[in-house]
Amino acid sequence: MPILGLGMFSLSDSEAENSTYWALKHGFRLIDTARIYGNEEAVGRGIKRAIDEGYVTRGEIFITTKMWTSDYSDGAAAIDASLSRLGLDYIDLMILHHSQPSNDVDAYKAMEQAVRDGKLRSIGLSNYYEPEDFDRVVNATTIKPALLQNETHPYHQSGLMKEHIAQYGTVLESWFPLGGRGNTQTLFNDETISSIASAHEKSSAQVILRWHLQAGQIAIPGSSNEQHIIEDYDIWDFELSDEEMRSMSALEKDERFSWY
């Protein structure tokens, strides 16, 4: 799985189609969407455009989507519906979008069956913020979650869950890696982050994304701006020093920007 991708949260159909296309055109290979975002069909169109124009092949890209809580009672139908909307024969990763103890285990088992049927390549969880809640699903199922996708950024570094899930071979994926819409400037203007950015002649966004990757988590920033998408991918030509990584770690406030 690529360690840097583009997220589709809150994007309109036209934005999601174009952003998917631009991302694949400019180097991204991981696209993250969800049923509740309402743009799976648009993402599918963006994928088809990029493939038809020769920028990528299906085997080179990694598509993630998520099952919404209201679909947990019939997970098999939800999986088939996402496949149809995306226009794909298989989905690289499907995630349960949120903890829902009443029936999330049943939904997870439906995903396990879809793995056996070849419809899904891997499965995971999102928005499980307590070790006990995560273990509840793991202990009731067979396939360990490939990843846990939670809100993670310099002010909320998810250290507890990251350490806990490592025992299962589960990796952390960061949504709102730059703080999320409406909060990015809070992080971009942080004195520590902006100082590191100046030292490397990079943007604050690039420094934050580089921190995510060097800290060992997957990051999926979102954007509907082609130039920002290009900028977000341009982080492979520099590294943060050990001292800079320690400075970033010291920004931990256990402060979430979303209620979700």
DSSP sequence for 162-217: HHHHGGGT-EEEEESTT--TTTHHHHHT-HHHHHHHHHHT--HHHHHHHHHHHTT-
Please, is 226 exposed, middle or buried when counting C-beta atoms within 10 Å of its C-beta (0-12, 13-18, 19+)? middle
Residue 128 annotated to the active site: no
Q: Which of 37, 72, 108, 155 is catalytic?
A: 37
Q: At which residue do the structure tokens 């599918």 appear?
A: 44
Token pair belonging to 46: 């963006």
Adjacent-strand bridge partners of 148? 125, 172
Return the number of other C-beta atoms located less than 10 Å from residue 198's C-beta. 12
**DSSP bridge partners of 124:** 95
CA distance 9 to 181: 10
Cα(204)–Cα(184) distance, integer angstroms:
10
Q: State the pairing for strand pair 6-7/30-32.
A: parallel
Active site (catalytic) residues: 37
